Amino acid sequence: MTAAPRRAALPQIDPARCTGCGWCVAVCAPHVLSLHADGGRKASALDDAAGCTGCALCALRCPFGAIRMRRRPAQAPEAGPASDAGRISN
């Protein structure tokens, strides 16, 4: 089993600014965004974070500034920064 590649950033959609126009959905090549009904109005949502390439086209295309790319936090080392695990010694 191989781990899914980690994206540097993921889109964060502000539902208060999203008008449901669908431009971001249209521009997303891997089709991981879609419009969801939310209390009588539509808003975009990221359906598949693992499938997102982090290309940021959705954020660039949004006419209402509703999408911001949020950098993912750095992955915490499992054994601490001073660990010699996996280090090659000779």
Does residue 77 touch ligand SF4 according to CB under 6 A? no
Tell me if 22 contacts ligand SF4 by CB under 6 A: yes
Long-range contacts of 60-64 (CB under 8 A, 24+ apart): 61/23, 61/24, 61/26, 61/27, 62/23, 62/24, 63/21, 63/23, 64/17, 64/18, 64/19, 64/21
List the one residue from 12, 64, 71, 72 that touches ligand SF4 (CB under 6 A).
Answer: 64
Please tell me whether residue 56 binds ligand SF4 under the rule CB under 6 A.
yes
Beta carbon of residue 45, minimum distance to ligand SF4 (angstroms, whole number): 9
Q: Point out which residues bind ligand SF4 (CB under 6 A).
A: 11, 13, 18-24, 27-28, 30, 32-33, 44, 46, 52-58, 62, 64, 66-67
